[in-house]
């Protein structure tokens, strides 16, 4: 049984269909990369998995449960996490309040423990715990957003271009943290990433999306070897 | 002049409570809610009815008024504004819906007033006031209603501050208003948070209704008359901040009362018929200077300029 499986998903916003008949799955402790040109539906797909778009057909199964009709907050409470590309923290709240909100519905004692654990994983956050997010730099904000997505200790975390606004060195650091999530904490990760080559190097399996359709799924090594696909759709040689 | 200040204070208290609610509903569903004034009318009629039939002092009916007006607002959110908003209704659709609901609600209050007038043979159902009395505090004689209104407003604003900053649910409310999609993906039940916001907003407007008959004759239209001033206060506050709404309420309240006092004095001697225009003139002038309202002012920038200026002078 897969950890998460999306069967024949067609989805979009209102009457605007973006995704067409997508089949997708994630295994336990697996890092799955979704790549594709701009506007191919990668971000929309993550939003769809989290219940933020309109699903026209298909089903989403998570740990054997059909979650297609669950509300986003219900999905968050059963072990799914999602880090949006932009607007991924509350600017007018302090970092501490942001982290507190990310543990909404979790009991006080567990929340306290989780906070300690996340500060061990991302210790730099301690330096700006009481500052409002709007006063932080891009890198600091992204770190806070990552902490927010991880603090619930989800089974599966979906990251939408988490390195997009970061300097190259910081981006690399960030991708290494993502690998750590899988290897040290046994978390599954779905990663949508602009830096396709680096993402494919760290991922186990990959999907290539073009115009709202999945045109490739398989091991990342296979994709890296497929020169035609790499050149035509990803601009990589 | 002291009486003018006291009058302005009492009036501002009412506008602050009203504009907090208007701002809360605007921040959640992005609708300028025209029914808001009618919750105040409803509050006035509930307090009056309870007073008339059970002899309970209007101030003691504040909790029940808060709950009933809050419930009505909650029901409107749950069954009308939320479904419309989820179906992608735009601002105009939501606003026209709220105007329609306002007319229905006002008609129902009119019907209630007529029925009660006929049934009880008490004609004042279509226009009533609550009797106030003066209290001696040191050298000052203050209307009891002004003291209660001020204490209530201060208490509510303080409680609201503590609620929004010190409780998990309050912080969730701020989070859900700022970025509802993110709040949802973090496990916050945004629907519940918004429902409570609407309940609080309606409840506060209901409380306003209890204070109105101490100032003017209350009738089924009284909430509507106050509503536009509430909107002015809310817009002046920036429409996106509860603290802005508090400042907006105080500014509009004081501008209207102090303004009409000053303008009616020699040598200007303006007739008081100009009174309703003062809050809107205040609003327009303020927005011309600060287009985003009071909360649009970058106080930290001003502080930096002042500190920089001082350092430069040194």
B218 pLDDT band, cuts 50/70/90, is: very high
Find how far residue B138's CA is from the centre of its chain. 31
Cβ contact (<8 Å) for A93 and B183?
A: no
pLDDT in tens, B166-180: 999 999 999 999 999
pLDDT in tens, B124-172: 888 999 999 898 888 888 899 999 999 999 999 999 999 999 999 999 9
Rg (chain B; Cα; Å): 21
pLDDT for position B44: 96
Alpha-carbon distance of B270 to B260, in angstroms, equals 8
Per the CB < 8 A criterion, the answer to whether B249 and B20 are in contact is yes
Cβ contact (<8 Å) for A77 and B187?
A: yes
Q: How far off is chain B from A49, nearest CA to CA, in Å?
A: 11
Tokens of B95: 């606003």
Per the CB < 8 A criterion, the answer to whether B235 and B54 are in contact is no
Q: Is the pLDDT of residue A225 over 90?
A: no
Find how far residue A127's CA is from the centre of its chain. 25
Q: Is the pLDDT of residue A233 over 70?
A: no
Cβ contact (<8 Å) for B184 and A52?
A: yes
Q: How far off is chain B from A135, nearest CA to CA, in Å?
A: 12
Using CA atoms, how far residue B244 sits from A176, B91, B223, B248, B297, in Å, is 44, 22, 22, 6, 10
Of B88, B168, B184, the CB nearest to A100: B168
Q: Any idea of the CA torsion for B8, B14, B17, B20, to the nearest 10 degrees?
A: -60
pLDDT for position B113: 94
With a pLDDT cut of 70, the percent of chain B lying above it is 98
The pairing of beta strand A205-210 with beta strand A188-192: unpaired
DSSP label of B217: -
Residues of chain A within CATH 3.40.50.300 domain(s) are: 4-79+154-234
Cβ contact (<8 Å) for A82 and B185?
A: yes
Which residues of chain B lie closer than 8 angstroms to A51, CB-CB?
Answer: 184
Cβ contact (<8 Å) for B187 and A105?
A: yes
A168 pLDDT band, cuts 50/70/90, is: confident
Query: b/e map of A201-226 (b: 16 or more CB within 10 Å)?
Result: ebbbbbbbbbebebebbeebeebbeb
Alpha-carbon distance of B301 to B290, in angstroms, equals 14
Q: Is the pLDDT of residue B314 over 60?
A: no
Which residues of chain A lie closer than 8 angstroms to B170, CB-CB?
Answer: none
Which residues of chain B lie closer than 8 angstroms to A82, CB-CB?
Answer: 185
Cβ contact (<8 Å) for B187 and A52?
A: no
A4 - beta bridge partners? A26, A62
Chain A interface, best mutation among B86, B184, B185, B241, by max A CB count within 10 A: B185
Residue of B44, B16, B20 lying closest to B197 (CA atoms) = B20
The CATH superfamily assigned to A4-79+154-234 is P-loop containing nucleotide triphosphate hydrolases (3.40.50.300)
Q: How far off is chain B from A97, nearest CA to CA, in Å?
A: 7
Please measure the distance between the N-terminal and C-terminal CA atoms of chain A and give it in whole angstroms.
35
Q: Is the pLDDT of residue B311 over 70?
A: no
Which residues of chain A lie closer than 8 angstroms to B88, CB-CB?
Answer: 14
Per the CB < 8 A criterion, the answer to whether A18 and A191 are in contact is no
What average pLDDT does the segment B96-110 reach?
A: 96
Strands of the sheet containing A188-192, edge to edge, are A80-83, A156-160, A188-192, A31-35, A205-210, A213-219
Residue of B197, B182, B153 lying closest to B11 (CA atoms) = B153
A236 pLDDT band, cuts 50/70/90, is: low
Q: Where are the alpha helices (DSSP H) in chain B?
A: 2-29, 36-54, 62-76, 82-86, 91-120, 144-166, 168-178, 180-185, 190-215, 222-236, 242-263, 277-289, 299-313
Q: What is the 3-state secondary structure (H, E, C) of B156-193?
A: HHHHHHHHHHHCHHHHHHHHHHHCHHHHHHCCCCHHHH
Alpha-carbon distance of A37 to A234, in angstroms, equals 6
pLDDT for position B203: 97
What average pLDDT does the segment B22-42 reach?
A: 92
What average pLDDT does the segment A67-92 reach?
A: 92
Residue of B80, B241, B100, B228 lying closest to B160 (CA atoms) = B241
Using CA atoms, how far residue B76 sits from A30, B72, B189, in Å, is 46, 6, 19
Which residues of chain A lie closer than 8 angstroms to B186, CB-CB?
Answer: 73, 76, 101-102, 104, 148
B312 pLDDT band, cuts 50/70/90, is: low
Alpha-carbon distance of B285 to B236, in angstroms, equals 10
pLDDT for position B193: 94
What ipTM score was computed for the predicted complex, to two decimals?
A: 0.83
A237 pLDDT band, cuts 50/70/90, is: low
With a pLDDT cut of 90, the percent of chain A lying above it is 56
Q: Is the pLDDT of residue B313 over 60?
A: no
Which residues have a Cβ under 8 Å from the Cβ of B99 and sit 6 or more positions away?
B34
Alpha-carbon distance of B22 to B82, in angstroms, equals 16
Per the CB < 8 A criterion, the answer to whether A56 and B168 are in contact is no
A101 at interface of B, judged by CB pairs closer than 8 A = yes
Tokens of B81: 């504004």
pLDDT for position B28: 87
Q: How far off is chain B from A235, nearest CA to CA, in Å?
A: 32
Alpha-carbon distance of B159 to B181, in angstroms, equals 27
pLDDT in tens, B179-215: 998 999 888 999 999 999 999 999 999 999 999 999 8
Q: What is the overall mean pLDDT for chain B?
A: 90
């Amino acid at each position: 049984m897969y950890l998460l499986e999306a069967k024949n998903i067609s989805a979009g916003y209102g009457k605007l269909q973006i995704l067409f008949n997508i089949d997708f799955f994630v295994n336990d402790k697996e890092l799955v990369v979704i790549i594709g040109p701009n506007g191919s539906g990668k971000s929309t797909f993550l939003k769809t998995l989290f219940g933020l778009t309109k699903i026209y057909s298909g089903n989403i199964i998570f740990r054997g449960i059909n979650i297609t009709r669950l509300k986003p907050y219900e999905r968050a409470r059963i072990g799914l996490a999602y880090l949006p590309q932009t607007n991924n923290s509350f600017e007018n709240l302090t970092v501490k309040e942001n982290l507190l909100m990310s543990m909404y519905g979790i009991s006080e004692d567990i929340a306290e423990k989780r906070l300690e654990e996340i500060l061990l994983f991302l210790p730099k956050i301690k330096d700006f715990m009481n500052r409002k997010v709007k006063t932080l730099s891009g890198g600091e904000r992204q770190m806070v957003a990552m902490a927010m997505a991880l603090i619930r200790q989800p089974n599966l975390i979906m990251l939408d271009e988490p390195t997009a606004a970061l300097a190259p060195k910081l981006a690399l650091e960030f991708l290494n943290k993502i690998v750590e999530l899988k290897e040290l904490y046994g978390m599954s990760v779905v990663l949508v990433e602009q830096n396709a080559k680096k993402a494919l190097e760290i991922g186990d399996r990959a999907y290539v999306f073009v115009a709202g359709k999945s045109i490739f799924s398989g091991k990342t090594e296979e994709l890296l070897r497929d020169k035609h696909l790499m050149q035509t759709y990803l601009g990589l040689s | 002049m002291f009486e003018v200040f006291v009058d302005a204070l009492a009036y501002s208290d009412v506008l602050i409570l009203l504009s907090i609610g208007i701002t809360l509903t605007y921040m959640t569903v992005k609708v300028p809610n025209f029914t808001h004034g009618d919750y105040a009318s409803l509050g006035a009629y509930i307090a009056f009815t309870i007073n008339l039939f059970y002899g309970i002092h209007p101030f003691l009916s504040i909790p029940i008024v808060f709950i009933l007006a809050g419930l009505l607002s909650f029901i409107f959110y749950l069954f009308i504004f939320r479904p419309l908003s989820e179906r992608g209704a735009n601002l105009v659709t939501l606003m026209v819906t709220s105007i329609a609901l306002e007319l229905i609600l006002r008609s129902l209050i009119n019907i209630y007033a007529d029925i009660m007038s006929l049934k009880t043979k008490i004609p004042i159902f279509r226009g009533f006031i609550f009797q106030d009395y003066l209290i001696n505090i040191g050298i000052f004689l203050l209307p009891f209603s002004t003291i209660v209104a001020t204490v209530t407003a201060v208490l509510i604003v303080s409680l609201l501050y503590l609620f929004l900053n010190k409780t998990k649910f309050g912080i969730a409310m701020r989070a859900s208003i700022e970025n509802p999609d993110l709040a949802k993906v973090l496990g916050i039940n945004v629907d519940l948070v918004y429902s409570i916001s609407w309940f609080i907003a309606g409840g506060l407007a209901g409380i306003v209704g209890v204070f109105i008959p101490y100032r003017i004759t209350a009738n089924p239209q009284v909430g509507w008359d106050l509503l536009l001033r509430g909107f002015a206060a809310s817009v002046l506050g920036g429409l996106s901040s509860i603290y802005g709404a508090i400042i907006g309420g105080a500014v509009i309240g004081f501008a209207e009362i102090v303004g009409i006092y000053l303008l009616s004095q020699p040598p200007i001697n303006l007739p008081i018929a100009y009174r309703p225009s003062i809050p809107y003139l205040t609003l327009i002038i303020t927005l011309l200077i600060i287009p985003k309202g009071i909360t649009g002012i970058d106080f930290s920038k001003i502080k930096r300029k002042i500190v920089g200026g001082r350092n430069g002078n040194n």
